[in-house]
């Protein structure tokens, strides 16, 4: 079998079209720029005396619509490649793009279903529904959901396992056919230094990022909220002390903190266990206080809710921090019978450091918002009603601070993704064989100028996910401001 071309048999029609679209876009962009300098502005709507409206089109308007159509044409070509890949039966005709598009079929279906359902019911979905009113938010949401679904269906999408090696295909270019009898006929994005499939590793790497980043961000928010609310609400010595500690952590350059924390020696010393002991306590405290402050006048409901929180929370907590199997583990008292899961020291330290780095920033944001919101009338009303301080913080201030917090949550997941990529880039934390994007970039960069293809897919994947999260946050900000 031959090397695959990028666009397959559809390319003969679609390639010139796509190229033309790009060329038109750039020409129109330059023309637009020239018009702007020459002082030709886009036409404005004029209202006539009889109530009709007239729009005089200027050359600038034509350049703008040319740009818009060029973008649409280009997108149509991209969709054409994917549909072509799904329709065509022979892989030589699909080309690399078509074959990749076909591997992602489960993701496309899930994306289309999500969008159709969401747009149908968007008026009933609150802030989430409003997202579908803003194009930026929709693009961001689409990018993020693409990677979420890729992570969910990664075993269907990826043709090979992350560690499968075909030594004949070391550093081979994209589209190289695999020997007979392998799981899939081609290495779509080529082979890496050890002859593993770059495409499969990129797809499987998404699971690492999408497991760690949102969860770590959530924990950072729990810590930041639990400490930031009282600091902002009570002020005084508590505030001074907590702010000092937060600034202390923030003054550490992130990379230095990682180098100090994420080393095998630190893991042997048990530091991740001790840190997780402190950090993972916060979600339990948060939920307990949350339920207690709301239902302390109805002890029965309160007791049930707090009991559920404690049973689930502490089982998970002790399962997480105690590791009976590990002879070097610092904390090993939790009986194996109720130890639900063990987390490898390396993964735990990555998780803990990411939470640790993010919490102070969340703390500062929550503290700032609390100081602002606590002067509002509804807070005084609650105080007059005789509500306790924790009720006011958690049930009056926090819900009213949700807009900026949700936006920051999205941005922070993106930032956490970048942090994870940085950790992997320096070979810290996860094992070097793991397919996560940071480690793969690190692996590929050694031979970058000669074999660029192994490092590029994970880099673009990381970029698109972070870009999607940033766009989503932007869309959410616009929509929540409009509330």
What residues line the site for other proteins (CB under 8 A)? Answer: 42, 64, 244, 247-248, 250-256, 259-261, 263, 265-266, 268-269, 271, 414, 418, 421-422, 425-426, 438, 441-442, 444-445, 448-453, 455-456, 459-460, 462-463, 466-467, 469-471, 474
**Which runs of consecutive H residues, i.e. helices, occur in 235-298?**
236-251, 254-261, 264-268, 271-279, 281-295
> 92 vs 443, which CB is nearer to other proteins?
443
The DSSP secondary-structure symbol of 43 reads P
* CA atoms of 41 and 38, how far apart (whole Å): 9
Which residues, other chains included, contact 232 with Cβ-Cβ below 8 Å and sequence gap of 6+?
239, 366, 367, 368, 369, 370, 371, 374
Closer CB to other proteins, 48 or 449, in the complex: 449
Q: How far is the CB of 113 from other proteins (least distance, A)?
A: 27
Rg (Cα) of the chain, in Å, rounded? 27
Smaller CB distance to other proteins: residue 288 or 464?
A: 464
DSSP 8-class letter at 431: -
Decide whether 205 or 421 has the Cβ nearer to other proteins.
421
CA distance 96 to 107: 17
Decide: 136 and 474 in contact? Cβ < 8 Å: yes
As measured in angstroms, the least distance from the Cβ of 125 to other proteins is 25
Q: How far apart are CA 273 and CA 133, in angstroms?
A: 45
Helix, strand, or coil (residue 210): helix
Cβ closest to other proteins, residue 69 vs residue 184: 69
Nearer to other proteins, 14 or 462 (CB): 462
**Alpha-carbon distances of 227 from 187, 247, 251, 298, 411, rounded to whole Å:** 50, 14, 19, 26, 21
- Pick the closer one to other proteins by CB: 202 or 455: 455
CA trace torsion 179, 183, 185, 190 (10° rounding): -80
Separation CA 56–CA 389 (nearest Å): 61
User: In the complex with other proteins, which residue's Cβ is closer, 339 or 372?
Assistant: 372
Nearest-5° Cα angle at 305, 283 to 337: 70
Closest to other proteins by CB, 387 or 478: 478
Smallest distance, Å, CB 25 to other proteins?
Answer: 13
Give min distance, CB of 108 to other proteins, in A.
Answer: 23
Neighbours of 292 (CB within 10 A): 18
| Least distance CB 285 / other proteins (angstroms) | 24
CB of 101 to other proteins, least distance (A): 22
- Residue 55 parent element (H or E): strand 53-55
Which residue number, 16 or 241, has a Cβ lying nearer to other proteins? 241
DSSP designation for 197: B
Nearer to other proteins, 197 or 474 (CB): 474
Compute the least distance from the CB of residue 92 to other proteins, in Å. Answer: 23
CB of 448 to other proteins, least distance (A): 5
For other proteins, the closer CB: 406 or 456: 456
DSSP 124-191: GSHHHHHGGG-HHHHHHHHHHHHHHHHHHTHHHH-SS-TT---GGGTTPPTTEEPPTTSSSSEETT-B
The dihedrals phi and psi of 279, each to the nearest 5 degrees, come to -65, -40
CA distances from 398 to 226, 230, 370, 392, 404 (A): 11, 11, 8, 8, 11
The first and second tokens of residue 232, run together, are 């902002």
Largest CA distance in the chain: 88
């Amino acid at each position: 079998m031959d090397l695959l071309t990028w666009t397959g048999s559809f390319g003969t029609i679609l390639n010139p079209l796509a190229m033309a679209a790009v060329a038109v876009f750039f020409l129109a962009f330059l023309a637009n720029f020239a018009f702007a300098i020459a002082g030709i502005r886009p036409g404005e709507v004029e209202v006539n005396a009889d109530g009709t409206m007239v729009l005089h089109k200027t050359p600038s308007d034509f350049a703008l619509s040319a740009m818009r159509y060029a973008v649409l044409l280009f997108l149509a070509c991209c969709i054409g490649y994917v549909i072509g890949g799904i329709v065509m039966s022979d892989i030589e005709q699909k080309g690399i793009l078509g074959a990749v598009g076909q591997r992602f079929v489960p993701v496309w279906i899930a994306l289309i279903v999500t969008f159709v359902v969401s747009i149908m019911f968007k008026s009933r979905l609150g802030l989430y529904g409003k997202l579908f009113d803003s194009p930026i938010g929709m693009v961001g949401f689409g990018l993020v959901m693409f990677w979420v679904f890729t992570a969910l269906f990664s075993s269907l999408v990826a043709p090979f396992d992350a560690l499968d090696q075909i030594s004949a295909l070391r550093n081979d270019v994209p589209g190289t056919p695999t020997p007979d009898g392998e799981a899939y006929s081609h290495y779509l994005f080529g082979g890496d230094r050890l002859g593993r499939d770059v495409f499969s590793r990129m797809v499987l790497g998404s699971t690492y990022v999408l497991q760690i980043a949102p969860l770590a961000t959530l924990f950072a928010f729990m810590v930041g909220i639990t400490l930031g609310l009282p600091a902002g609400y009570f002020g005084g010595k508590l505030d001074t002390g907590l702010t000092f500690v937060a600034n202390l952590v923030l003054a550490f350059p992130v990379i230095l903190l990682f180098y100090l924390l994420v080393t095998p020696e630190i893991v042997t010393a048990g530091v991740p266990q001790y840190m997780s002991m402190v950090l993972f306590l916060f979600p339990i405290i948060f939920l307990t206080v949350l339920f207690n402050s709301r239902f302390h006048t109805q002890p029965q409901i309160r007791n049930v809710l707090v009991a559920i929180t404690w049973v689930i929370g502490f089982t998970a907590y002790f399962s997480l921090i105690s590791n009976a199997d590990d002879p070097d583990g610092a904390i090993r008292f939790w009986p194996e019978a109720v130890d639900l899961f063990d987390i490898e020291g390396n993964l735990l330290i990555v998780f803990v450091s990411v939470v640790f780095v993010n919490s102070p920033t969340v703390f500062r944001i929550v503290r700032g918002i609390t100081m602002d919101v606590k002067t509002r009338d509804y807070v005084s009303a609650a105080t007059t009603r005789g509500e306790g301080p924790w009720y006011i913080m958690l049930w009056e201030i926090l819900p009213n601070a949700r807009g900026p917090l949700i936006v920051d949550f999205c941005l922070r997941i993106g930032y956490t993704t970048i942090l994870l990529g940085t950790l992997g880039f320096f070979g810290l934390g996860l094992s070097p064989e793991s397919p996560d994007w940071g480690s793969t970039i690190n692996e590929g960069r050694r031979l970058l100028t000669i074999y660029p293809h192994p490092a590029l897919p994970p880099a673009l994947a990381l970029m698109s996910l972070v870009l999607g999260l940033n766009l989503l946050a932007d869309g959410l900000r616009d929509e929540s401001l409009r509330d």
